[in-house]
Chain A
Amino acid sequence: MSESFSVYSESESENIPAQPGLYAFFLNLVGPGNCGLRAGEHVSASNYTKIANNLDYRLQKLIPIFRKLELAGRVIESDKFGPLQRVFDFAGKETSPPLRAVTEIAATPSELESILVASKQTAFFLPPVYVGMTVDQTLGQRYRQHHAAYQSSTELNVFGSRLRSAGIAWTDLLFACVPIGPRDASEIALRFVEQQLHVIHPPLFSVK
């Protein structure tokens, strides 16, 4: 038996199941739509520069969000004590790799368009930016709660406002969810699964 999850964009959110379950937000970072191309439009000589600038903007602004780990700590010589013990304090801040301008890589409109199309298909190659579970609310209610926080909250311990402050559009997100039937919707079970997912690969915007 194979199980599958359902995926919803912002415009499909009305269809999110009215059941409890587990969910994750993925980032649909780059694609024709969010770089300024409409359905049926193609990259051409007249819009090549504009589309390339939009793509550059997205990459340069958003990739550092995922490469900004900051570490601080202390390393101690464990086999020494007192004044003989050496102690090292260190702090490190990740730098993001230099990015080449898109126009250096995709010299022609068709190459640029290929990049956009291929990128759109790879949303699920990235780890989720947020993983959560809900028992008391339905998945639909929880989605709307996050959306409302994105639109109006200013508290930084709230997922929606952290997302917005990072410059990510709500329409850039894909909501993937696994509804859980009433018999299996135990808070203990869902909480455990959520925590394991956090341990294995901490989602970027999950803080707790």
Chain B
Amino acid sequence: MANSNQQSANQFVDMEGEITYNFIRQGSFGSFRTEWSFPLEFFLLSFTAEDLQFLSLAKDLKPSKNLDFDMLLQRDIDEKRIIDEMEPYLVGKHSNGENPAEGAVFFPPILAAVVPVTDNDIDDYYENEEFYEGEREAGREWHGHFRVEYLLNQTVDAVPIQAFDNVTGNTKTLLVRRNPAILKMRLPKGNVGRGVKLVVIDGQHRLVTLRNLMESHKGLLNGMVLPVCVVYAPQCTKAAAEAHAKQQRIIPKIHEVFRRLFVDVNGTMRRVSGHFEHLLNDIAVETLTARKFCQAVIEKYGFNGLACVEWNEKNYKQSLDINQYYSVTSIGVITPLVEEYLENHYEYLMDFGGIEAELFKDNDDRRIQFQRLTFYQKPLMEVQIKKNLVPLLLKIFFETNPFKRICSAFDAEIAVLEAEAKGDGKQATTAADVRDFLLNYVPLPNVRKEDARMAESRLNAFKDAVRASITDNGKLEDPIANRVLFQKAIFEALHLFIRAIKKWNPKIDALADAYCALLNTALRDDSVLFSSSQPYMQYLVFNQKRLIVNAKARTSMTSLLLAQFATPGVARPIAELLNIGADTDTAHIELTKLGRERVRSLYESFCVRRRASFEKNYSADLSLGADKRQLLMELEEKKRADLARAERGEIDQAEISKKFDEEVALEIADDLMAARNSLQTTLSLDFTLVQDAAEISGSDADE
């Protein structure tokens, strides 16, 4: 009888436990704490689709005195994002019938906070903590809210946790296993009662997406098990708050802890940016090209070569520039240029004709989204990129003379560092540090000030030495080849060159050889054709020595690159390099024609911009006499007045005074002549550039 009574009593005790906690799961336990941070503990659990009903959104809780928590946690659910992006991601197609990127589909873990509630209102703290320790297991309980149970563990893998008994004041360090552990929670049904809610801090949109799909696509989530990370703040108890208050210390309230966590998760997590935005995108042709290019640089030119390519800049703005003197290019520069200038030539460059049977095997429609390759298209494209686009870029940036010069200067100074590093003492260590920074991306020493200063100084000396080598100790101008604007011109000229010759379908390595021959011609003699000292470069590309950074300057540089074809003897060997057999003669004629068009366009642009610059600045140009400036102002005013009268119909357009234009033409005539003569001479033109009065006053031919 006594035994059965005992048994009954035990059964009653067990039943009470089950009723107190109605959500019981086994998972992996962990804790997050540092010396200064407020400790958080978490459980990694698996939820089936049906279990999603146990998760709550912050907006489901009653707006309360804890409004700031509510407002912060309540992100507006972006319905459009759910419909446009997240639902199709799981369902498998967009509403217009296109397929999103195929392949593995995965949602990262939803992060849910254990929030104490009474009648759906958030409580400030959990119930007081109690703990117990048995022979093999231990547990901690915040009675009526939740309870965690562990297996004790004495091995080296044991996790130490601080257990508190807020009633007795006892504490104990328990050594437990992470896995398995049991989490038991009291989840009130509806909005009545006391317990905890699992409030989603990160993943609200995922949760809503999944709930919507359970309604609209019954069966879609069958068998799906989702990762959920449940997090709680074990020390946020009433008793702990009171005890700390006596010592004038503050225990944050539950909603304050999770508000901080929410802000950290949603606010301070930076979007991947800079170069990594390109390198981590592997479904766009141009970003795949950037990655394959970097890989190929390492394979062919080693880490010295890769150090000359800027590829790991996180700052967005800096990633768009070429920041180092010894860099030949940057991923942030060439990736968008590949898309902008070469996309229209992908069919030719990547030989779609050769892979047509595989590329379009399952799809009649020939449209490829180059920024959103499918799971099936990507490996085919990668092969073609590696075979065609990458060698073209390698030749341009590592085998044309100006870039070779930069790399040689870099290699030479690296060799100096290597030699220093083999020595003894501080200098050797510093040299090794700088070498490792440049080649292996190890941060420079920054713990001891002296070491940091020496490394910084040695790095600056390295950069200065590279620059001195490239500019022949200041005798030459800074190279134009690794200026961003010039590299845009390289790609624009490449696009125009391909447009002119692809009808003959030359092999890509022949195209690369031909284009690099053009670059070497254009940039010969230390790029003297692009020097700011050339009269035709002023107003077009340079303002004195300062590079003008705009689209017109870029177009002018493009024109000057292609204008090389106008030089007798240039077009023919380049046409021959294309290796197109009987079409070589035609190619020679067309390239020569292209060169002439471009040199005319360049000169016309110079005329227009010289004129525009004069008209804008003459009134402050003290090299003109005061009388001359006065005259010009009067003539300009007369012209303006005549224009206004013509607009009002008072005079005919032919009666508008031309005296101002004539006077300006006189003033700039010498500059136009100097530009024309320098173009004729530097390009050895076998025809005369003609100065057309109508063109001088007309619109800019480049636009």
Contact = CB atoms under 8 A, between A and B. Distances in A.
Interface string B499-539: 11011111110100000000000000000000000000000
B354 A40 contact: no
A143 B500 CA distance: 18
Interface stretch (B5-13, B486-494, B574-582, B687-695): B574-582
A14 B498 CA distance: 13
B35 interface: no
Given A151-B367, A164-B366, A171-B347, A40 B360 contact: no
A39 B353 contact: no
Contact of B360 (A39, A50, A154, A167): A167
Counting chain B CB atoms within 10 Å of each CB, the highest count among A11, A50, A53, A164 belongs to: A11
**Which of A12, A32, A38, A154 gathers the greatest number of chain B CB atoms within 10 Å?**
A38
A58 B365 contact: no
B507 A41 contact: yes
B357 A11 contact: no
B353 A36 contact: yes
B366 A38 contact: no
Interface in B654-677: none
A168 B360 CA distance: 11
A170 to B, nearest CB: 8
Given A11-B499, A39-B583, A54-B353, A167 B364 contact: yes
Contacts of A50: 354
25 contacts: A11-B499, A11-B500, A34-B356, A35-B354, A36-B351, A36-B353, A36-B354, A36-B355, A37-B505, A38-B508, A39-B504, A39-B507, A39-B510, A39-B583, A40-B506, A40-B507, A50-B354, A53-B357, A54-B353, A56-B357, A57-B356, A58-B356, A154-B96, A167-B360, A169-B347
Contacts of B348: 11, 171
A129 to B, nearest CB: 15
Nearest to B505: A33
Interface string A21-55: 00000000000111111111100000000100110
Interface in A117-134: none
Interface of A: 9, 11-12, 14, 32-41, 50, 53-54, 56-58, 151, 154, 164-169, 171
Nearest to B360: A167
Contacts of A58: 356
* Interface size class of chain B, counting residues whose CB lies under 8 Å from the partner chain: 20 to 34
A168 B357 contact: no
Contact of A39 (B352, B354, B365, B580): B580
A9 B366 CA distance: 18
Interface in B342-399: 347-348, 351-357, 360, 364-367
Contact of A167 (B96, B365, B503): B365
B492 to A, nearest CB: 15
Most buried by B among A34, A35, A58: A34
A39 B503 CA distance: 10
Interface in B441-481: none
Given A11-B348, A33-B353, A40-B510, 16 more contacts: A14-B499, A34-B353, A36-B353, A36-B355, A38-B506, A39-B580, A40-B506, A54-B353, A56-B357, A57-B357, A154-B96, A165-B364, A167-B360, A167-B366, A169-B347, A169-B352
Nearest to B502: A11
A168 B366 contact: yes
A89 to B, nearest CB: 31
B364 A39 contact: no
A115 to B, nearest CB: 15
Contacts of A9: 503
Given A14-B499, A34-B353, A54-B354, A40 B580 contact: yes
A64 to B, nearest CB: 11
B503 to A, nearest CB: 4
B503 A169 contact: no
Given A151-B367, A169-B366, A40 B503 contact: no
Contacts of A33: 353, 505
Contacts of A11: 348, 499-500, 502-503
Contacts of A54: 353-354, 356-357
Q: Shortest 9 CB-CB distances between A and B: which pairs? A: A36-B354, A57-B357, A11-B503, A34-B353, A38-B507, A39-B580, A33-B505, A40-B579, A167-B364
A56 to B, nearest CB: 8
A35 B503 CA distance: 15
Given A57-B357, A58-B356, A38 B505 contact: yes
A41 to B, nearest CB: 7
A103 to B, nearest CB: 14
Contacts of B502: 11
Interface in B187-215: none
A11 to B, nearest CB: 4
Given A54-B353, A167-B360, A39 B505 contact: yes
A38 to B, nearest CB: 4
A7 B226 CA distance: 60
Contacts of B357: 53-54, 56-57
Most chain A CB inside 10 Å of its own CB: which residue of B96, B354, B364: B354
